[in-house]
Amino acid sequence: MYTIQKRVNNNVVMATRAQQQYVLVGKGIGFKVYPKDLLSEERVSEVFVSSENFNLKTFVALIDEMSTKEVGAARKIIQEGEKFLNKSLNPNLIVPLLDHLHYAIKRFESRQFTASPIDWEIRNMYPIETQIGMKAIAIIEEMLGLRLPDSESVFFALHFVNIQFDDETISDTVAFTEFMHEINQIIKYQFQKELDESSSTYQRFITHVRYFFVRQKNGEDFKLGNEELYHAIKKRFHDESVCVNKIVAFIDKRLGITTSVDEKLYLILHINRLIT
């Protein structure tokens, strides 16, 4: 049993159970209910964990416009995403995902299809999240009878990339993907070779640069005092060091920063692994 905290509307209530707060959805569950009333599980069709940052106003507005099947499809997409990533995701993901699904359906109905200009980069940089995006397309077809274009999978994928980084937005993720594309081009040109973007080594490199990008956005310095080690590594891996200097020149100009010696050190080591 759930204990009612607040009636939101006739079909949505906030409730608690075992000291956890939930947003519950079900036909008529908010009709003539009051705080401290009990609500049985049988009357609830969808259960969402509520948190401090849960955007209840937007969530309720979306619920009012979407069918129960559409809400169920969004929930199923998140569940499948958690299986692919092998971890629980922030419950707040449901709000932007519902919003995306809502407008994806509207675009489908009006035959307004679009593709991301960085479609190829996203598919290569985030293969697992892209698989989740393709799974989302399959779930929508199965549950709603709509076959969205495959290009839509990239936009679903971005939500799952984004939610894994605190305080990141979709625009941050897109900006980083473009940023990473430029870095890839510098490495390929410097060493005249293609990178194996499906390798675990490349994925670790992306993760390192992503956290670097996040640190810079948040104004955080990464300084461990490894200057002596940096000069030794720089001497040992000369070509990688030349490449890193070009990357750092691009980064510093783009972000308006001065990259630390420690960041350069780790970039040299990552690039050495990439090309060997």
User: Do 85 and 104 lie in a common domain?
Assistant: yes
Are 97 and 150 contained in the same domain?
A: yes
List the domain range (segments joined by +) for residue 261. Answer: 176-275
The band of 85, judged by pLDDT with boundaries at 50, 70 and 90, is very high
Print the SS3 string covering the chain.
CEEEEEEEECCEEEEEECCEEEEEECCCCCCCCCCCCEECHHHCCEEEECCCCCCHHHHHHHHHHCCHHHHHHHHHHHHHHHHHHCCCCCHHHHHHHHHHHHHHHHHHHCCCCCCCCCHHHHHHHCHHHHHHHHHHHHHHHHHHCCCCCCCHHHHHHHHHHHCCCCCCCHHHHHHHHHHHHHHHHHHHHHHCCCCCCCCHHHHHHHHHHHHHHHHHHCCCCCCCCCHHHHHHHHHHCHHHHHHHHHHHHHHHHHHCCCCCHHHHHHHHHHHHHHHC
Q: Does 212 share its domain with 158? A: no
* Within a domain: 23: yes
CATH number of the domain that residue 35 is part of: 2.30.24.10
How confident is the model over 183-207, as a mean pLDDT? 90
Q: Show which of 164, 189, 216 is a domain's final residue.
A: 164
Same domain, 202 and 158: no
Residue-level pLDDT at 230: 87
170 in any annotated domain: no
Domain limit, last residue, from 132, 164, 196: 164
Q: Kindly report, residue by residue over 116-151, the tens digit of the pLDDT.
A: 777 888 888 888 999 999 999 999 999 999 999 998
- Taking only the tens place, the pLDDT of each residue in 5-27 is 889 888 888 898 988 888 888 88
Are 74 and 48 a contacting pair, CB within 8 Å? no
- Can you give the pLDDT at residue 175? 84
Q: What is the pTM of this model?
A: 0.71
Residues 83 and 133 in one domain: yes
Domain stop point among 105, 137, 164: 164
Is residue 169 in a domain? Answer: no
Domain with residue 182: its CATH number is 1.10.1790.10
Compute the distance between CA of residue 100 and CA of residue 172 in angstroms, rounded to an integer.
17
- Same domain assignment for residues 271 and 213: yes
Do 276 and 237 form a contact (C-beta atoms < 8 A)?
A: no
pLDDT tens digits, residue range 248-273?
Answer: 999 889 888 888 888 899 899 999 99
Domain count for the chain, please give it: 3
